Amino acid sequence: MPAFSTIIWFLGGVVLFFFIWRVGIGMLRSMTTSLPPPPPAGEMRRINVRYRCGVCGVELRMVMAPDEDPPPPKHCLEDMDLVAPID
């Protein structure tokens, strides 16, 4: 008869194997699905753009816009400058 700790280690290994297997199958299935079509014109899109005011230095992060390249907002009655990403 094997020791109790050996049975526990074996069952833990089986559970870990099935967990890793399910995660791997889920990742493979997620890579095979096609991308959704782009939203129709006029709907808000997710973006990540940062602007800085050249006069006072206030910064703004825009996360939603009707198109991919929105016009810069105005602050201190002037257009804000686009801040280049760090990457």
Write the pLDDT tens digit of every residue in 36-83.
787 777 778 888 889 999 899 899 998 888 877 888 889 888 889 988
Each residue's pLDDT tens digit, 3-18:
989 999 999 999 999 9
Sign (positive/negative) of CA torsion 11, 17, 22, 23? positive
Residue 77 to residue 56: CA distance in whole angstroms: 11
Mark whether 6 and 27 lie in a shared domain. yes
Q: Could you list the residue range(s) of the whole structural domain that residue 2 is in?
A: 1-33
Say if pTM beats, i.e. exceeds, 0.85.
Answer: no
What values do phi and psi take at 30, rounded to 5? -70, -30
Mark whether 49 and 78 lie in a shared domain. yes
DSSP-derived 3-state class of residue 45: strand
Establish if 40 belongs to a structural domain.
no
Give 46-83 as a DSSP string: EEEEEEE-TTT--EEEEEEESSSSPPPPEETTEEPEEP
